[in-house]
Structure 1
Amino acid sequence: MIQKRKILFVTGARSEYDIMQPVLEQLNNCNDIELKLIVTGAHLSETFGKTVKNIENDGYEIADRIYNLVSSEDKVGRVVGIGTQITGLAHAFAREQPDIVVVVGDREEAITVSMTAAYLSIPVAHLAGGDIANDGNIDNAVRYATSKFAHIHFTFLEQHAQVLRLLGEDDFRIFNTGNPALDKFVHCPVIPKNEIAPLKVLKTGNEPYLVLIQHPIITEATDAGKQIVETLEAVVDLGIKCFINYPNSDAGNFAIIEMISKYAGEYPEIFYLFKNLDRVNYINLLRNAAVLIGNSSSGILEAPSIGLPVVNIGSRQRERFSAGNVIYVDYNRVEIATAIRESIYNPVYRATVKGIVNPYGDGNSAKKISDVLRSISINDKLIYKNITYKV
C-alpha cells in the first residue's frame, strides 16, 4: 500500500488561489498524495463574491473554513483578523497533521501559516518569495518574514532566488520554477469575443475597452477614495468602456467600493462592475482588452503572456521586475489618461508590447512544483533552519 504524503494548501483570496490552482490540479491526480485545503479570509465573504464557491466547483476537499475577516475600515481590524486566523490554523494543523503546508505570496495568510506551521515543526512551502516592490506596503515585510519561516521556496524569477540566498536561505531549499498561474493563463480555453459574457455591452467588435483592478495600500488607506476617483475621472474623460473588478479586502477597500459603485451608477454606459469574475471569463476579458489599468500584480505577472499593455497607477507594484509592458503613473487623472492613450493609440508601443516574452514562466511551472512537493525529503535538515551567511 502506498504511503500517501499529506499536503495542505491554505488560501484566503482569489488572487493567490489562481496562482496555486494549477499545482492543486497536478497533485490531485497523484495516487501518492492526500490533498486538502483550508479556506479563509475574503473567500468566505459575500462582499468579495464568496469565492469559496469556485474552490468547491473545482472539486477540492476543504479541510476547514476559518472565518477571520473583520468588516472594518480600521487597520486594527486586519490585525484582529490575523489573530483569529492564527488560532484557527493552529487547531486545523494539529488536527490534520499535514506533512507539508503550502502558501502563496504576501498576504496575511502567508505569515500566519508559515509562523504557525514552523512552531508545530511542519514544513512550509512558500511560492513567490524573494520578490521586490518599493511601494511601502506591509506586504513586502510579510513576504520576507514568510521566507525566513518557510522551509521550501518556489520562486518566479532567478533574481528572486538570488535574493533568498542573500537573505541566508540554504540553496537546497530554493527552486526557481516560474509562476504557476501562467499555466492556466497560457492554456486557458479561448472564448470568441462575441461569446464572452461581459462583452455583450460592446457596440462593435472593434470597440476598445479597459479592465480596471485597483487595490488599496494599507499605508495610504485614508486616501484610497481620492486615489480611485482620479482613475475613474480619467476614464470618464476618455469615454472608453471599463470593466471593474472589486478590490481586495485591505483597509481602504470600503472607500474604493463606494466610489466604483457610485461611478457605475452615474455612468452606466462606461463602467461595468463585477464582484468577482470567474477565471475563464477574466482571462478572455484580458485577452481582448486594450489596456489593464490599476495596480494589480496581474499586470506584472500575467499580462506579458498576452502582450497586454498595463498602466500601473500609484505606488503599488513599483520597482517589481517588469517585462516592459507597464507604464507607471501617479494618482493623477491627466497622467492616467495620457498613459492610456499612449497604450491604445501608439502603434509602435503596442507592437513592442505584443512582441515581449514573459520572464515569469512559460506555462509549465505547476509540474515542477508538484514534483518537488512529492519527492523532497522531510527530515531534520529540512525542518530545522540555520542562516547560511556568516558575519
Structure 2
Amino acid sequence: MTARPRVMTVYGTRPEAIKMAPLVAALEADDRLEPVVAVTGQHREMLDQVNALFGIRPAHDLDLMTPGASLAEITARTVLATSELLRADRPEVVVVQGDTTTVLATSLAAFYERIPVVHLEAGLRTGDIRSPFPEEANRRLTAPLADLHLAPTATSRANLLRESIPGSRVPVTGNTVIDALRWTTAQPVEFTDPAVAAFFDGPSAPRDLLLVTSHRRESWGAPMVATMTAVRDLAVARPDLQVLLPMHRNPVVREVIEPLLGHLDNVLLTEPLDYHQFAHALARATVVLTDSGGVQEEAPSLGKPVLVMRDTTERPEAVEAGTVRLVGTDGATIRRAVDELLDDPLAYAEMAGAVNPYGDGRAAERCVAAIAELLGVGERAADFAPAPDLVSV
C-alpha cells in the first residue's frame, strides 16, 4: 500500500488554532492524507484551550515562547526550530494560517527545506505594510513563499492576483472560522467565571451588552487610552448599558484598561475567555467594539454589528456589506457610533442584517480538496461564493 502524503499543520496562537481546527478535523477524516499537527506555543495557555476544545493532540510541541521575547527573537527561534522539525519529519507539505510570526518563520523554514507551503486564509491586505503591525508584513512576505494560497474570499483572491500569483494556485474556500464558529456555538456552554455566569444568566442579565476587545500592538499607548476612555464615557453616560471586556494578558494592555474601567459598576473586566465561552458571549452581545481581526468575521456571522477601532482593515467584505464599520481611535467618533446603534432601531437593523460574506461552514472541505489536488491525490472543489441572502449561523 502506498503511503499517504503527510500534511503538517503548524500554528502557535489562539486565532490560528481556531481556524486550523476545522482543517485538522477534515484532514483526519480524509483517508487520502496523513495529518501531522505541530505547534510553536506562541500563545501557550490560550492555544492549549483551543486544542482541548477541538480534541487536537499535537504530535510536536516546540514550546518556543519566553517572557519578554522580541519579534526578532521569536522569528529567529521559530525559523531554527521549525527547520529542525521539518528536516526530521519530512512532510510532503506544510500548512500555515494567517499572518503571525509563526506563519512567516515556518514558511521561510519550509522554503529552505524545499517543502511546499500551503497558506490558509491567504490574500488579506490593508495596503499599508505597517498596519496592522507586524501582521500585514508577515502575510505579504509569506505570499511569495507559498505554493497554494487558500483565499477565504474573492476579494482576497483578487489581492493575490494583483501581486502576480497565478490564479491556478488561488482557490476561494471561504473562511474556516465560520466552520469553527458553527460547531462551537452548537455546543452547550458553562461560564467558568461566576461573575460572567451571573452577568449572562443572573436576575440582572443585561438588555444591552457592549462586548469590547482590544489588544493589537498598534493600539498600544495613546490610541488605547483614547478608545478605553470612550468606553468609560459610554458606561458613565449609559448606566443601563453593560460592558463586558475580556482583558488580554499583556501588561501593556491591562495598565491602560484597569485604571480607566475597573471602578465602574456596569463594566465587567475578566480574564480572557476561552474560545468556547467567547463565542457564546459574542452570540449574546448587542454591539461589538473591537480591534481584532477574527471578530470582524465572527460577529457578522452571528448578526452582530461590529465597530472596529482601527483606521484600516484587511477584511473589507463586511464593511462593504454594512455589518462592520471602521470607527478609528477617536473617542467622540466611537461614542457616537455606539450611541447610534443603541438608540436608532433602523440603524441597528441595517448593520445587524444577517449578511455573511465569509463562509458557509464548508471551507475546510474545500481546503482539503485543494491540498489533495496539489499532492496529486484528488481534485479541487468549486470556489466558495456567498449567496446574496446567506443567513447567519
TM-score range for the pair, normalised by the shorter chain length: 0.7 to 0.9
Percent same amino acid at aligned positions? 22
Superposed displacement of residue 264, structure 1? 5.7
Deviation at 1:80, TM superposition (A): 1.1
Gaps of 5+ in 2: 378-393
Change (3 A) 1:128 1:58: closer
Q: Aligned pair in 2 of structure 1 residues 53, 64: CA closer, same or farther (>3 Å)? A: same
Superposed displacement of residue 178, structure 1: 0.9
| Counterpart among 256, 260, 265 of residue 259 in structure 1 | 256
Whole-angstrom distance in 1 between the partners of 2:108 and 2:342: 45
Residue number in structure 1 paired with 2:47: 51
Give, in angstroms, the shift of residue 290 of structure 1. 0.7
Q: What is the TM-score of this pair, normalised by structure 2?
A: 0.84
Once the 2 structures are TM-superposed, how far is the Cα of residue 87 of structure 1 from its aligned partner? 0.8
Q: 2:374 and 2:161 mapped to 1: Cα distance?
A: 19
Instruction: Give the drift of 1:60.
Output: 2.7
Counterparts of 1:5-24 in structure 2 under 5 Å? 5-24=5-24
The reply to whether residue 116 of structure 1 matches residue 109 of structure 2 is yes
Distance 1:258 1:89, change over 3 A: same
Deviation larger for 300-309 or 199-208: 199-208
1:165 is matched with which residue? 161
| Change beyond 3 A, Cα 1:68–1:234 | farther
- 2:363 counterpart letter in structure 1: S
Aligned partner of 1:273 in structure 2 is 270
Equivalent-residue separation in structure 2 for 1:150 and 1:101 (angstroms) = 10
Aligned to 2:138: 142
Q: Is the 8 A contact 1:134 1:320 kept in 2?
A: no
Q: For 2:344, which of 346, 358, 382 is the aligned residue?
A: 346
| Cα distance change of structure 1 residues 254 and 316 upon mapping to structure 2, 3 Å threshold | farther
Q: Which moved more, 1:90-99 or 1:344-353?
A: 344-353
Residue type matched to 2:235 in 1? V
Match of 1:388 in 2: none
Match of 2:245 in 1: 244
Root-mean-square deviation over aligned CA pairs:
2.6
Question: In the TM superposition, what whole-angstrom CA distance separates every residue of 1:52-77 from its partner, at most 9, and x where no partner exists?
Answer: 243145333423222333433xxx81
Corresponding residue for residue 233 of structure 2: 234
**Residues 17 and 47 in structure 2, CA contact (< 8 A), matched pair in contact too:** no
Per-residue deviation, 1:128: 1.9
User: Are the counterparts in 2 of residues 216 and 247 from structure 1 also a CA contact under 8 Å?
Assistant: no
1:205 and 1:271 mapped to 2: Cα distance?
A: 12
Partner of 1:35: 35
Q: Find the aligned partners of 2:144 and 2:113 in 1 and give their Cα distance.
A: 15
The one-letter code of the counterpart of 1:306 is L
Deviation at 1:259, TM superposition (A): 2.7
Alignment of 1:367-378 (within 5 A): 367-377=365-375
Aligned-pair distance for 1:93?
Answer: 0.9
Q: Do 1:190 and 1:284's aligned partners in 2 also have CA atoms closer than 8 Å?
A: no
Structure-2 separation of matches of 1:304 and 1:367 = 22
Residue by residue, what CA displacement relative to the aligned partner does 1:32-69 show, whole Å, maximum 9, x if unpaired?
A: 3322222124332xxxx443243145333423222333
Look up the equivalent residue of 1:120 and give its one-letter code: E
Structure 1 segments unaligned to the other structure (5+ residues): 380-391
Q: Indicate how the Cα distance of structure 1 residues 224 and 52 shifts in structure 2: closer, same or farther if over 3 A, else same.
A: farther
Quote the Cα distance in structure 2 between the aligned partners of 1:232 and 1:58: 34
Matches within 5 A, 1:1-391: 1-44=1-44, 49-56=45-52, 58-72=54-68, 77-134=70-127, 136-137=131-132, 138-190=134-186, 198-202=196-200, 203-205=203-205, 207-218=207-218, 221-223=220-222, 225-237=224-236, 238-239=238-239, 240-247=241-248, 253-263=250-260, 265-267=262-264, 269-275=266-272, 277-315=273-311, 317=313, 320-322=316-318, 323-377=321-375
In 2 relative to 1, CA 199–325 (structure 1 residues): closer, same or farther, beyond 3 Å? farther
Determine the structure 2 residue equivalent to 1:384: none
SS of 2:171's partner is strand
- SS of equivalent residue, structure 1 residue 358: coil
Distance between the aligned counterparts of 1:36 and 1:227, measured in 2? 44
Residues 181-212 of structure 1: CA deviation (Å, up to 9, x unaligned): 1012234344789x656342254455221211
Partner secondary structure for residue 150 of structure 2:
strand
Change (3 A) 1:229 1:144: same
Aligned partner of residue 338 in structure 1, secondary structure: helix
Q: Secondary structure at the match of 2:42?
A: helix
Report how far residue 13 of structure 1 moved.
0.9
Contact kept, 8 Å, 2:17 with 2:50, in 1: the verdict is: no
